[in-house]
Amino acid sequence: MKNDAAKVRAVAAEIVDAVVHGGRSLDLTIVEMEARITSRDRSLLRMLCYGSLRQHWRLQGYVEQLISKPLRKRDRIINCLLAIGLYQLVEMRIPDHAVLSETVEAARLLRRPKLAGLVNACLRRFTRDKLASTEPVGDEARWNHPAWLIEAIRNDWPEDWQAILAANNERAPMWLRVNAARGSVSRYLDRLSELGIEATPMRSIVDAVKLAEPQAVEELPGFADGDVSVQDGAAQIAARWLLHERATEKQADRVLDACAAPGGKSSHLTEIGAGRIALVAVDSDEARLQRVVENLARVGGDATIIAADASNPEEWWDREPFDGILLDAPCSASGVIRRHPDIKLLRRESDLARLAALQAALLTALWGLLAPGGTLLYVTCSVLAKENDDVIAAFLRTHDDASENDVLPNNNIHDLMRRKACGYQVLPGTADLDGFYYAALQKKKVS
């Protein structure tokens, strides 16, 4: 049992090291490595990895105080192990003696026996000197974000930047989307209650349910049958917004979901648009496109699925215009940091210009596929103007046949939205939602 406990810490250190020093995705690395520990320890593994990355800069500040000189490059995994040990001492209800013994043993499992004494001395000094009560030095340690991102958020949201950064460091709740084609939210809440699972609906997002505590999907009633899916409430706004724009038009609209993987929005479109839309889902990543296939199959959705680059429609488009297009554009993902804390370490300020150019290219390419009178809904999970309202404003300046429809699809979501120069923003933490940006563009009809 003791060796199992130490192994969890060792594997967590390897995962965090792969993110911090190897630039790897946290989720993918966990999936690759978690089979090395027992199933009962996997929730602890995730807690250690996610928690230590959320507080990366603060914890590394402590490490720098505790180590007199930097470790050699080949031993930098010990920095990650120390951060995991410190996270347990600061944030978790694990006895100090257990944290020390298991973290020290993890150093040996990581084939660094000569550094086990250093780990022991650092953790003992941390508890003895009560360093957890000291104020972090510098903005990065205080806010647990890189300096460039703090500055970018502060510039774009001068009244809200502190709340955004604080929300990014919180654990995200688990949101569900009830399949409207299979049943009502109220009935699904009854099913959860029968199993002792506490949950609440959200009046402004009609298909959304928030769980009081996360659950394994296999424990959710009807998940395997497609009665419910996991999707953040703010992401659920997209499908109903786009189909609301088409509600008064002819039936069987052609709808495109560009950049569709992993398929959450595609499956939602088929759930609420069954019988009145013909959906085409495009994505350039064939491996992730398989998840679109699986998600649609589970909820009983139907779509034409194409592996292709959405920005090069001449390679895949059949020349039949679309009545509605959902462009969930690649972005910095700065609005979903609380769900993916590795974003803070993997993104660079230099990424923003590249992403903005890609977003503009996608908009321009897909606009030519939209029928006159049709709607393109531009969506990102970013809070940064360079990827959001700046992109839309530049597009509108160069396309005389485009205009923004700034009327929200329903008044219930009004309180969730911040009006931007163009489009609307949901800020992270608002009603416990992730951060998403929306802009509805309409193509003028030919007179």
Beta bridge partners of 254: 278
Rg of the chain over Cα atoms, rounded to whole angstroms, equals 24
Pairing between β-strand 208-211 and β-strand 175-178 as defined by DSSP bridges: antiparallel
Contact indicator for 385, 370 with CB cutoff of 8 Å: no
Contacts of 342 (CB under 8 A, 6+ apart): 19, 25, 26, 27, 53
331 in catalytic set? no
Measured between alpha carbons, how far is 325 from 279 in angstroms, rounded to an integer? 10
Please give the structure tokens belonging to residue 329. Answer: 């554009």
Q: Is the dihedral of CA 205, 209, 213, 217 positive or negative?
A: negative
Measured between alpha carbons, how far is 340 from 446 in angstroms, rounded to an integer? 44
Catalytic, out of 259, 331, 381, 422? 381
Measured between alpha carbons, how far is 288 from 282 in angstroms, rounded to an integer? 11
Contacts of 309 (CB under 8 A, 6+ apart): 284, 315
For residue 330, is the peptide bond before it cis, meaning its omega torsion is within 30 degrees of 0? no
Please give the structure tokens belonging to residue 163. Answer: 């709340």
- 135, with CB counted inside 10 A (0-12, 13-18, 19+), is exposed
Helix, strand, coil shares, percent, the chain, to 5: 50, 15, 35
Please give the structure tokens belonging to residue 182. Answer: 């299979």
Residue numbers annotated as active site: 381
